[in-house]
Chain A
Amino acid sequence: MSDDAIRCDACPVLCYIKPGRTGSCDRYGNSDGQLVRLDPHVVLDRALSRGDSVVPFLQKARDWDGSLVSGEDTFITAIGAGTTYPDYKPAPFIISSQVEGVNMVTVVTEGIFSYCGVKLKIDTDRHLGAECSTVLAQGEPVGHVTTNEYGSQMVSLGGVRHLTGGSRHEGTVTCETLLDLSNGKAVELEIENGAKVVVQAGKAPVVDGVQEERMRVGCGSATIGMFAKQWFGKVDEVVVVDDHITGVLSEHQAGKLLGVPETGIRMKGRRSTPGRYFRVAEPGTSWGGTNIADPLSILDPFDPASARPGLRLLMVSTTGEHSAYYELDEALRPIEKKLPEALQQSVARIRENCEPALCTVLFMGGAGGSLRAGVTENPVKLTHSVGRALTRVTCGGAPVYIWPGGGITFMVDVTRMPENAFGYVPTPALVAPIEFTLKLSDYAALGGYMDSVKPLASFRQNEESRKRVAARPENPWPIKPEKTEQ
């Protein structure tokens, strides 16, 4: 038998599986020598028929007493727990444990989220596309461009309209895109009339084939404010090129305060306030998120009334990635010269103040009626309990942000969750783990399924079907009791 194939022992067929291929069931595959389960919705199927499916859970990274499920340092996550959807019956796992002397209960289920999506923050100053532009994956619309934030472009993907409101193929591709992003995989997105961008949680975006390195230090105007003192005396004029607000040192408030004299510079674009210009060029992926290749193209001829031959001009982008140094000749034309040592340092300083550009992926979903019904007979009580912070919601053990207002609409940073925590069902919809942790007495009060509560110790059985993963030190321990309301 060839040595790179692995033997799958999930069933008695005992397939030998080559790397990159699946066994005869199409459910298990060989991924770089590892046997992996490929069909997350079967996890769901499994849990519907039996309660003892694969349950990865967190273990605090400290003394381990030798058993898979130990004491209060164990938290059963919902990953692989399955769901009882759409039945109004208790969630697959309702687990009690004692933490710091308080009886706690955690209700563990996998939610099927038809209403869900991904909020993407892409750190870049490059123009990815106009606001409201459609975002495509594999040629299908999967979301849209939303606001520009400081140094970042926000993108909204998924949502029920793309998942189930469009064509079947649109839904399938949307589901796949959300699943891949949520599971930390790279996805290529194309923005209509805009850029192609490869995004992956916690990694730098790749815009039109170029990997983004750094976020801008600030807008052009802010950059002038931050570095004016360092430039003063070393150069006569500085233009910080920025697609949003291009800054000009001599006209800017910061330059005025330092007594920088007028230089006769004349900018294209629309002047906002002194030293601050909008739209000096079109948006693009070059200097400061504009489309220019030659920075001089944003300047009109210098004003002979105040300009003088020999005047020193620095042009720099908001990330310090682009810079050029000029001196005016007798005809007041800027002639490019080598960047003087002192200015090289300030450009390097801009660069070093720019943080690494990353993509951030927040999964957002709403826990609807039947999911809550798996927790309590009176679902709205769960919503109220979450709203009053008596019930802690976690997603694969990771903390979530709960939107104020009605319902249980939450966001979670997928990089804080265990690997491959998300699955899907062919609806299409995403399957995400969700755990509700609260005091046992509170659980009883909100109409919980007290008969279904099982002590944590009982999960010592079926240990072989569970996967132990280390808790992430940056996450708060999910099962610690909240401050009690007394």
Chain B
Amino acid sequence: MNTRAQIRRLEDGRRVHMQDGPIDLIVEAFGEPGEVDRAYRAAAGRFVSVLDELCGELTFLRQATRPESATPDGSVARRMMEAVRPHAARHFITPMAAVAGAVAEEILDAMISTSQLARAYVNDGGDIALHLTPGENFVVGMMEYPEPDSKHPQHSEHPMPGTTTITLDYPVRGVATSGWRGRSFSLGVADAVTVLAETAPMADAAATIIGNAVDLPGHPAIVRARACDLAPDSDLGDRMVTQAVAPLLLDEIQRALDAGIHEAECLRSLGLIRAAALTLQGEMRIVDGATSLFFKPNGVEAFSNSRSLVHA
């Protein structure tokens, strides 16, 4: 029996907070009260064993994935592998790149497979799995930095540089953000890469890959350190991870974003993402093909919308 996990309703009485070790979820379901309660019970029931399952094959999940890598045992781990495998031929990636999205999707699945819900989401530290039914949608707000950071007070005044509305017919059920300031290490310099994809683990893996691609190799303004020197058991081993980025020149910012855009376009053409927004030192670039319904700038009216979902 897991006695570490903490599960409680937040003060608003609607959302549920679940935490176990490094996993931190905000869960909210919409529907008939009885259905919502049942969904939360199902989510909690599934949640309590997730961390132990993952840790059971953690060594394998921290190893670089190859196209021919074996399939792991656990259902969350399988979601992770499935999401990172398509990247493995072209990039270094481990299943851990999709862990947050995979946990979010697993918990969401537990809810919607037991309850009739109009909408639901599971937010795992900014990596979000969504559930929609006809007539429902989500407004997702995007942060410039993936982690609230007291060094960037403008954060509070301009909380969301953009929002997007996810509707039932738009095939996006996963949103993820990666950036060097975030909780996970990044090989790149993007402040934030937000990705919309068909599933949360797909979005999570792609955000990592695109975030790594936004880079200026060898640039002196970027402070890097070996991941293993910071966290001895990091899945990134001796790869150099970004620790600080000094102010860059505009053309350098463009060059770094171009590299990320190139990768994002590539993933879009492969069907691995639907859209992405990349930010670096105040500059934002968007990849969303012809859909153009993505990321309307500063949708202030969306803030008062009770259906808005602050993300990151």
Whether B11 is near chain A, meaning CB under 8 Å from some CB there, is yes
Q: CB-defined interface of B18-46 with A at 8 Å, one 1/0 digit per residue? A: 01111010000000000000000000000
Are A21 and B231 within 8 A (Cβ)? yes
Decide yes or no: A12 and B233 within 8 Å by CB, A49-B6, A49-B8 being known contacts.
no
Does A169 belong to the interface (CB within 8 Å)? yes
| B residues near A14, Cβ cutoff 8 Å | 55
CB of B183 closer than 8 Å to a CB of A? yes
Encode contact with B along A135-152: 1 for CB under 8 Å, 0 otherwise.
000100000000000000
Assess the B21–A13 pair: CB atoms within 8 A: yes
Query: Inside 8 A of B233's CB, which chain A residues have their CB?
Result: 1, 15-16
> Which of B17, B22, B52, B230 is the one whose CB lies under 8 Å from A45?
B17
Q: Mostly helix, strand, loop or mixed at chain B's interface?
A: mixed
Cross-chain contact A11 with B232 (CB below 8 angstroms): no
Indicate whether A203 reaches chain B with its CB closer than 8 angstroms.
Answer: no
Q: A68 to B51, alpha carbons, bound, how many Å?
A: 31
Residues of A within 8 Å of B6, CB to CB, are: 42, 45-46, 48-50
**Is B90's CB within 8 Å of the partner chain A?**
no
B58 interface residue (CB < 8 Å to A): yes
CB-CB under 8 A from A138, the residues of chain B are 150
Instruction: Decide if B231 touches A13 in the complex (CB within 8 Å).
Output: no
Asked if A298 is an interface residue, CB under 8 A from chain B, the answer is no
B232 x A86 contact (CB < 8 A): no
Q: Identify the closest chain A residue to B96 (Cβ).
A: A24
Is B219 part of the contact surface with A, judged by Cβ < 8 Å? no
Q: Does A34 contact B (CB under 8 A)?
A: no
CB of A432 closer than 8 Å to a CB of B: no
Bound form: Cα–Cα A50–B2 in Å: 12
Query: Would B51 and A12 count as touching, CB distance under 8 A?
Result: yes
Q: Does A275 contact B (CB under 8 A)?
A: no
Contacts of B52 in A (CB 8 A): 12
Measured in the bound complex, the distance between the Cα atoms of B22 and A17 in whole Å is 14
B7 contacts A by Cβ under 8 Å? yes
Q: How many Å lie between the Cα of A169 and that of B51 in the bound state?
A: 34
Which residue of B3, B7, B11, B231 contacts A15 across the interface (Cβ within 8 Å)?
B231
Pairwise interchain contact A2-B232, C-beta atoms closer than 8 A: yes
User: Which residue on B lies nearest to A169, using beta carbons?
Assistant: B153
Whole-angstrom distance between the alpha carbons of A138 and B19 in the complex? 31
Answer yes or no: B229 CB below 8 A from chain A CBs. Answer: yes
Structural contact, A167 and B153, CB atoms closer than 8 A: yes
Instruction: Please give the number of chain A residues whose Cβ is less than 8 angstroms from any Cβ of chain B in the complex.
Output: 30
| A173 contacts partner chain B, Cβ-Cβ < 8 Å | yes
- Judge whether A5 is part of the interface by a CB distance below 8 angstroms: yes
| Interface mask (B54-71 → A, CB under 8 Å = 1, otherwise 0) | 010010000000000000
B156 located at the interface, meaning its Cβ lies under 8 Å from any Cβ of chain A in the complex? yes
B307 CB, nearest partner CB in chain A, Å = 23
Flag B177-206 by CB within 8 Å of A: 1 or 0 each: 000000100000000000000000000000
Give Cα A50 to B231, complex, Å: 31
Q: Using A11-B22, A25-B21 as known contacts, say yes or no to A45 and B51 having CB atoms under 8 A apart.
A: no
Which residues of B have CB within 8 Å of A42?
6, 19
B156 pairs with A11, CB closer than 8 A = no
CB-based contact A16/B232 at 8 Å = yes
How far is the CB of A24 from the nearest CB of chain B, in Å?
Answer: 4
* Contact partners of B7 in chain A: CB under 8 A: 49
| B231 lies within 8 A of A11 (CB) | no
Chain A: minimal CB distance from B288 (Å): 31
> What residues of chain B lie closer than 8 Å to A26, measured between beta carbons?
22, 183
Residues of B within 8 A of A2 (CB): 232
Q: How many whole Å from A138's CB to the nearest CB in chain B?
A: 8
- Give a binary string over A37-63; 1 marks a CB under 8 Å from any B CB, 0 the rest: 000001001101110000000000000
Query: In the assembled complex, which residues on chain A have CB atoms less than 8 Å from the CB atom of B19?
Result: 42, 45
Measured CA separation A50–B1 after assembly (Å): 14
A255 smallest CB distance to B (angstroms) = 57
Across the interface, name the chain A residue whose C-beta is closest to B11.
A86
**Residues of chain B in range 53-99 having any CB-CB distance to chain A below 8 Å:** 55, 58
Report A165-188 CB contacts with B as 1/0, cut-off 8 Å. Answer: 001110011000000000000000
Question: Would A18 and B51 count as touching, CB distance under 8 A?
Answer: no
Find chain A residues with CB under 8 A from B58 CB. Answer: 13
A42 to B22, CA, bound (A): 12
Are B8 and A48 in contact, with the CB atoms below 8 A? yes
How many Å lie between the Cα of A5 and that of B231 in the bound state? 9
Bound-state CA distance A386–B244 (Å) is 53
Establish whether residues B4 and A11, one from each chain, have CB atoms under 8 Å apart when the complex forms.
yes
A173 to B17, CA, bound (A): 25
Query: Which residues of A pack against B, CB within 8 Å?
Result: 1-2, 5, 10-18, 21, 23-26, 42, 45-46, 48-50, 86, 138, 167-169, 172-173
User: CB within 8 Å of A: which residues of B?
Assistant: 3-4, 6-8, 11, 17, 19-22, 24, 51-52, 55, 58, 150, 153, 156, 183, 229-233
In the complex, 8 of the A-B residue pairs with CB atoms within 8 angstroms, ordered by the A residue number, are A1-B233, A11-B20, A16-B233, A18-B229, A42-B6, A45-B8, A49-B8, A173-B150
The 10 closest A-B pairs by CB, nearest first: A11-B21, A12-B55, A25-B22, A168-B156, A16-B232, A24-B22, A169-B153, A49-B8, A48-B8, A49-B6
11 additional contacts (CB under 8 A) given A15-B231, A15-B233, A24-B21 = A11-B20, A11-B22, A11-B51, A12-B21, A12-B51, A12-B55, A14-B55, A24-B22, A26-B183, A46-B6, A50-B3
